[in-house]
Amino acid sequence: MAHSTIFTYLGILFSLGIVAATIDFILPYLRPSRLHRYLHRGDSAQTSWALVTGASDGIGKALCYELAATGFNVVLHGRNPSKLEAVQNSLSSTFPSRAFRTIVADATICTEDAIQAIANRVSDLQLTVVINNAGGTPVSAPNGDIYKRLDEYSHKEVADTVNMNVVFPTMLSNALLPLMIRNGGRGVIIMIGSVAARGFPLIAPYGAGKAYLRVLSEALGQEMHMAGYDVEVICMPLGGVTGVQAIWQKPSLFTPHATTAAKKILARVGCGRSEIMPHWPHALQRLLTDLIPRGLRGGIFREAMAEIQRNGLNPQDGKRD
């Protein structure tokens, strides 16, 4: 075969590969949300319920508004009773025909009793949506510096970070699944992940915890399928999102507001993947950085995190609305 023919075939194969990869990237973002599958309407006692952890602020709070607007009753979980009550009151006046319930529980405490107490509070509800949103880096940060090497963490800081990001969502799913699958019920569990799962330095236990959620979602989804249960499990990693406690810069294409992020999260339900970045510009960012050679990429991540450690994530003169 002539060299030119070989190159022609290689060119066709390469082009087909690019077309297939592009379709694979775009398709899940074009599918309409299937969240409505998990909404059964009736009087407020019969209407489906959604539970959102970390609902007193940021993305979790925005998710509660979006879920209530869609028709769900919502259980709000958080650690601060007065913040939770304020969010519940605001939701009740915005959506008078929805019902709301609050659960106060610290996500760094994952004893059997603590987790069972949460399950008991929702055992009478038709729970079809669970969003494991509570997460972050619960380190003591007297100078606002939460970015540090693992050897600079205290024992408690490591334990709290792993408990909140790994143990709590795992134990909660373990305790809530029997409620979701009773009577052949259907539902969706969403794990809010992070781009930090790629292994960014200076937030190692947090990023590693988010990587764990990806594997948990994949395996748990397969288990539900094997058992014939109609429960979807999706890990949804986010890049930067503003309008949250730690970030208050102006929203942009690559740093959407918490409300936009919440809409995108719910829009991706039923996309057919066990992991998807809900906001497509974040996925594009990930795709583009994947094209950078590994050695060079590591240097870029180190420099970016060192810059965040020096200057933080927000404009120096800005403050949260």
206 is catalytic: yes
- The set of residues, in sequence order, having a beta carbon less than 8 Å from that of 315 and lying 6+ positions away, is 249
Sole binder of ligand NAP in the list 64, 72, 74, 138 (CB under 6 A): 138
- The set of residues, in sequence order, having a beta carbon less than 8 Å from that of 12 and lying 6+ positions away, is none
Sole binder of ligand NAP in the list 54, 201, 221, 270 (CB under 6 A): 54
Phi and psi of 61, rounded to 5°? -65, -45
Within residues 247-286, the interface with ligand NAP by CB under 6 A covers: 247, 258
Nearest to 230 by CA among 264, 269, 193, 279: 269
Bridge partners, 189 (sequence order)? 130, 233
Per the structure block, which two tokens stand in for 57?
């602020």
Shortest separation between residue 230's beta carbon and ligand NAP, angstroms: 26
**Of 90-98, 131-139, 171-179, 220-228: span binding ligand NAP (CB under 6 A):** 131-139
Nearest to 266 by CA among 110, 37, 42: 37
Nearest to 67 by CA among 273, 266, 258, 214: 266
Sole binder of ligand NAP in the list 73, 108, 170, 260 (CB under 6 A): 108
Phi and psi of 192, rounded to 5°? -80, 110
Does position 85 interact with ligand NAP (CB under 6 A)? The reply is no
Distance CA 76, CA 80 (A): 11
AA identity, residue 128: T
**Of 9-17, 128-136, 219-227, 299-307: span binding ligand NAP (CB under 6 A):** 128-136
Distance CA 152, CA 265 (A): 34
Within residues 170-199, the interface with ligand NAP by CB under 6 A covers: 192, 194
Sole binder of ligand NAP in the list 133, 161, 260, 274 (CB under 6 A): 133
Which stretch of DSSP H or E encloses residue 192? strand 186-194
Does position 209 interact with ligand NAP (CB under 6 A)? The reply is no
Sole binder of ligand NAP in the list 37, 40, 83, 297 (CB under 6 A): 83
Sole binder of ligand NAP in the list 15, 44, 222, 245 (CB under 6 A): 245
Does position 214 interact with ligand NAP (CB under 6 A)? The reply is no
Does position 134 interact with ligand NAP (CB under 6 A)? The reply is yes
Total binding residues for ligand NAP by CB under 6 A?
30
Candidate list 65, 206, 212, 229, residue with the active-site label = 206
Kindly list the catalytic residues. Answer: 206
